[in-house]
Amino acid sequence: MTIEAERRPRVLSALTALLLATAAATVVVEVLNYWYAPEHGFGLAVRTGWALLRTLGWLLLVRQVRRDRAVARPLGLILAVTTVFAVGRLIVPRSGLPPLPGVAGFVVLLILCVAVVALLYRHPVVRAHLVRHPNRLVFTRDGLRMQEATPRRAPVTGWLLTARIAAFTYSPLMLVPCLISFGQLRDRPEWSLAVLFWLFTGIGVSYAVLLGTFFLLRGKAGARRYMAWLTVFVLAWDLPLCYFLLGADGLIRDGAPLVAAAALTLYALHRAAKS
């Protein structure tokens, strides 16, 4: 064991173990939900696959925590919130009661996500350590080398980082129900053009968010207003399509995670304006 590892607070090691447990729990709960589901259609496969991809996000968060990155806290918050909604929407079947193993697994996952957020935002040692910036290629007297590059502008607040990460989930949260809708076009071909526009809009939103957050983190005037109106547009575009193409069930399963991400973005923008 190195000296650096010995000096590292135990709470950070516990946080890393908690994150790995949460990633594993996500996989287990999704497998249970898929196994006990009465129907194994295309929609369930897409939603399950997207939820399983979230495991990569948890592993990325582990990497950020081990490197004491400041981005770990907002990333952990949005992962916890969206994971709960992404997994929770698959537990309740179209009819009947949800399977007991799936409910039990979801409760465990919910407890793990709450514990992750509590450690990231409430524990003083964790908050004191997660402050480092990413390494960049910089010029020094010894030549080019990778080292931590502190931004020259004013430090970005945690709420701005939270708004940025939450907004970046808009595109995938729009594309999941869009892909599911492609499976409905065989019976409803008149919606083909709308689904294609939905696909292109979902892709375009990712670039719109990239542009908005670029100016947002630099404190440009109007950037918060731009992100707020973009959030309103995303909700106004996505939720009606979810309802008309996937029904009330699709609106709840696929619209609720997007609403949660949008609410977190707007709240983060509001808090950042006051800080």
* pLDDT tens profile 124-142: 998 888 877 665 555 556 6
Is the separation of the CB atoms in 263 and 234 below 8 Å?
no
Range of the domain at 232: 153-275
Angle at 124 between CA 120 and CA 126, to 5 degrees: 45
pLDDT tens by residue, 77-124:
888 988 888 777 667 666 666 777 778 888 999 999 999 999 998 889
User: What rounded mean pLDDT belongs to the chain?
Assistant: 82
Instruction: Looking at the structure, tell me whether residues 16 and 63 fall in a common domain.
Output: yes
- The span from the CA of 27 to the CA of 24, in Å, is 5
Angle at 98 between CA 115 and CA 111, to 5 degrees: 5
Q: Say yes or no: 135 and 213 in one domain.
A: no
Among the candidates 150, 185, 217, a domain finishes at: 150
Residue-by-residue pLDDT tens, the chain, 275 positions:
444 445 778 899 999 999 999 999 888 888 877 777 666 667 777 777 777 777 888 999 999 999 888 888 888 988 898 888 877 766 766 666 677 777 888 899 999 999 999 999 888 998 888 877 665 555 556 655 555 555 555 455 678 888 888 899 999 899 988 988 887 777 778 888 989 999 999 999 999 999 998 888 887 878 999 999 999 999 999 999 999 888 887 888 888 889 989 999 999 998 887 76
Are residues 102 and 181 both part of a single domain? no
Residue 2 makes CB contacts below 8 A (sequence gap 6+) with none
Give how many domains the chain has, as a whole number.
2
State the number of CA atoms in the 13 A half-sphere of 239 facing the CB: 14
Q: Are both 144 and 182 inside the same structural domain?
A: no
